[in-house]
Structure 1
Amino acid sequence: MSAPQPLDVRARMLPIQRLRIDSLDETELSQRLDATVKQAPALFQRAPVALDLSPVIEHLSEPALTNALAQARQRGLIVFALAGPKADLLPWCDQFHLAWQDEQDKPAKARAHTPTLSTQVVTQPVRSGQQIYARDAHLIVMNQVSAGAEIIADGNIHVFGRLRGRALAGGQGWTNAEIVCQQMDADLVAIAGLYRVRDDLPEATGAARIYRLDDEIRVDCY
């Protein structure tokens, strides 16, 4: 009988949403979670979430963490990790079967310099439920992006059609990344960790250029 073969392991960079918890009060946490999800429902849809507990680490207890996890999951957040001081959080991670993230390890570290990137071209429509990630590359979509789809690139994103769904450029922190589309109708756009949702976007549905200026997402419509 041959020895069992190990499972195939494939590393993949994914955008991780990080929620900074600065109060463990049950009522306050509930209200702020509701406000957060209401502000950007598309941002947290089926996305992995890490709870950053750095501000409340001294007040953390089993009931408080149990409540925080339950409240987050009741709102559809997929909490997979705790973020904060390693020595303090590892016992809680073990107890609750969660991963750990360094408190300084942000999902997208700000980088203004131009990285060396290839270009990934997609000619077919990006349909609802699809996710395309152009790792270490710019992304060109020669078609439309449907509602419920997600496109991510470490570089720029160009869509030669209608952009619905979610578009996240500068996935590894390149702050000079841009999103350019022929028709703007997105639920969410993000550049290097900063995002704007539909309610905060211009109503115009023509061509648009989305870019980051300092700590603000700008949208120019044409």
Structure 2
Amino acid sequence: MSEPFFELKGSLFPLSVIHSSDLTLAGLQTALEKKLSQAPGFFHQAAMVIQLAPEQQNIDFAGIKQLFTALKLVLVGVANASPEQKQQAQAAGLAVLRLGQDAKPTSSASTAAEKQNDSAAASVQQVPMHTKVVEQNIRSGQQIYAKGADLIVRGAVGAGAEVIADGHIHIYGTLRGKAIAGAAGDTGKRIFCHNLQAELVSIAGHYWLSDSLQGDFWNKAACIRMQDDSIVIGEL
């Protein structure tokens, strides 16, 4: 009789990182509920990490963990914790992670990672993308998913509607709802729209909510893309 198979491997997964100056239960609950109301479906059971600052002391990590569970969120752990914060977080059953400069690999490891990323990007580009075309407006409550394809919407995407594509998204009208491009993980995908009023835009797991979008290109034609691991908005 063969032995049961078991293998442990390292891997990377997108996690939402919370930055907040107020980590009291009341303050955190108010901030989270506000964000969840903007895009409830997108954040359902989302894995999250709280980034800490050294001056933040006496944090109720156990209470925060219960709050996340009550809001249908998954608190994986904390990042950049001081020794005291680390001990308290681990006592509450949370992982302690490192983000930013602390998590940079050595130069040799970095070179290997860059080669691996270049190879992965090349293999993604070699996969032919088909195109799904929608000849109408997308109304509130509707969801359109272009699996393994680009998505063209020859109309508007209403508030409460959601368009998702493994490829690029082109919207020939107003984008008021949610647009999620590169759903399969390709950060090279983009979102194009003729009028940006979105509730949420996301590329390969990176996202911005409407309050972050309301800048120079709000109510204008825009192109949304990734640059240096961050979403940027430019002219269409």
- Map 1:1-222; keep pairs closer than 5 Å: 18=15, 28=24, 30-39=26-35, 41-45=37-41, 47-51=43-47, 67=63, 70-72=66-68, 74=70, 77-79=71-73, 112-113=121-122, 114=125, 115-201=127-213, 202=215, 204-221=218-235
CA 1:54–1:210: 2 relative to 1, 3 Å: closer
Q: Please provide the CA RMSD for this pair.
A: 3.7
Distance 1:40 1:82 in 2: 15
CA 1:48–1:38: 2 relative to 1, 3 Å: closer
Alignment identity in percent? 37
TM-score, normalisation: structure 1: 0.61
TM-superposed deviation, 1:198: 1.3
Structure with the higher helix share, 1 or 2: 2
State the SS of the aligned residue for 1:196. Answer: strand
Return structure 1 stretches of 4+ with deviation > 6 angstroms. Answer: none
Q: Which amino acid aligns with 2:219?
A: T
Q: Is the 8 A contact 2:65 2:75 kept in 1?
A: no
Which ranges of structure 2 fall in alignment gaps of 5 or more residues? 1-12, 52-60, 78-96, 98-116
TM-score, normalisation: structure 2: 0.58
CA 1:78–1:134: 2 relative to 1, 3 Å: farther
Q: Is the 8 A contact 1:151 1:168 kept in 2?
A: yes
CA 1:157–1:213: 2 relative to 1, 3 Å: same
CA 1:30–1:21: 2 relative to 1, 3 Å: farther
Q: Higher RCO, 1 or 2 (CA under 8 Å, sep at least 6)?
A: 1
Q: Which amino acid aligns with 1:143?
A: G
Q: Which amino acid aligns with 1:180?
A: F
Alignment coverage as a number of residue pairs: 171
Q: Which amino acid aligns with 2:226?
A: R
Which ranges of structure 1 fall in alignment gaps of 5 or more residues? 1-15, 56-63, 85-102, 104-109
Q: Which amino acid aligns with 1:126?
A: I
Distance 2:159 2:143 in 1: 11
TM-superposed deviation, 1:31: 3.2
Distance 1:123 1:156 in 2: 17
Q: Which is greater in Rg?
A: 2
Distance 1:155 1:186 in 2: 19
Distance 2:235 2:64 in 1: 40
